[in-house]
Structure 1
């Protein structure tokens, strides 16, 4: 199996913590040069210092706030114009706040749409020309199992994640002839800061302790545990590799079996 990414470059979004950071680390371990992208330069530089670089990789950071799509476009366009090219794009952005869809403000949908779909489109448009030129491209979107089964209490997230999934499938069909694959990784309950917040909110609303809520949520997962971010990263890294060249336009849950459909 060919998992070697030496000589490849990846733009990894949301990479200062959680799943994004774990993906950056795994890709670097496979020989890839990493550009970490997030809004916090200090945190980005700390992660950069920790990345494996013994294979001669050149790691760098790119500061951008996905709440400001026009700013993201200016930054990435200038970055690409300066000679930076990517064979791998990891679209990963923190999910919208919880709550029912019917109660959500219109602005909440607009913000989430910009942060996820619009910024994904901006980055894809910037990176795809070099992918086409090299005949090798991997666009991997970290979204949610809600694209298969909506998750109660995550109304805005369910809506926007579904839009991203269909955008991804459309791109997969359009870009397949150029050696570019577009796939989605769907994390289940993963031990991250976001999951901690979700557990705390659920516990507060139900009157249960955090420990009780954790056990209740784990009981819904056949694996009876939460995922480690590195396990989600492993799926993304495989999709980024040469061995995944014929996997295109799919949703891959990494959820311990929790999602109740195929």
Structure 2
């Protein structure tokens, strides 16, 4: 695809690992100037140093707590303006999925998870949209999750957050479509990242089974015979950010290997 994104300036939250890192790496390789955002400064610096050794001057980082909203989003966007320039791309990818059940999960966990992912995504989107609307171009991709369509009793908070994101991002996509700005949600299922290992450990602790057996069962449920990699999901996100997906907005795309059983 060459330098497909050389005129783009991208913000990637959750950019130090997993799917976010895969997207950031590909964007930089294809010419974009990219600001990686995550909580831990050391991990971000390591990633950005790696990118700048290969592509000098194209990658930057900003460490902040995505649960501290809207202050974090405002600081990220201001830093982006001072480094990469006006953002034309945003990947909202920060936040995990707590393994729990709806009745036992402490109230603080509900609040914390919503603050990081739902309000984190919403704050970042609201912070960049005026800049994209001013330029009359831009793409926002939200890394949501299949639990927003298939509520999971072991992921009640993520199911609620993802469902809420599907709703609000559809509304926002309608609001900005006349300005040439697109918003799309991407819904992975279980994906082969370090987060999968963390989720398997939590599931094993609750069930009394081994982590190895939990991972084996997760992989066995995949209709295609394997779980997607971070690169599998990143490839779809890069396509949706590209001009080839110029007529896709206000919808969600499942990247789960067919594990979602609904008709939509």
Relative to the length of structure 1, the TM-score reads 0.91
2:148–2:158: 8 Å Cα contact kept in structure 1? no
Report what 2:147 is aligned to.
146
1:161 aligns with 2:178: no
Partner of 1:113: 114
CA RMSD of aligned residues (A): 2.2
- Between stretches 170-179 and 129-138, larger displacement belongs to 129-138
* Counterpart check, 1:22 vs 2:22: yes
Uncovered stretches (5+) of structure 2, i.e. residues with no partner:
none
Please show how residues 38-117 of structure 1 align to structure 2 within 5 Å.
38-51=38-51, 58-76=58-76, 78-79=78-79, 82=82, 84-117=85-118
The equivalent residue for 2:254 is 253
Report the secondary structure of 1:51's partner residue.
Answer: helix
Conserved? CA contact 2:102–2:153, under 8 Å: no
Contact 1:9 1:33 in 2 (8 A): yes
- 8 Å Cα contact 2:191/2:230 also seen in 1: yes
Q: Which has the higher contact order (CA 8 A, sep 6+)?
A: 1
Q: Indicate how the Cα distance of structure 1 residues 175 and 146 shifts in structure 2: closer, same or farther if over 3 A, else same.
A: same
Tell which deviates more after alignment, 59-68 or 111-120: 111-120
C-alpha distance in 2, partners of 1:226/1:15?
21
Alpha-carbon deviation of 1:3? Answer: 8.0
Q: Retained in 2: the 8 A contact 1:100–1:153?
A: yes
* 2:99–2:203 contact (8 Å) kept in structure 1: no
Q: Which residue of 2 aligns with 1:13?
A: 13
Of 205-214 and 141-150, deviating more is 205-214
Aligned residues between the structures: 262
Note the residue ranges of structure 1 that are not aligned, 5 or more in a row.
Answer: none
Match of 2:128 in 1: 127
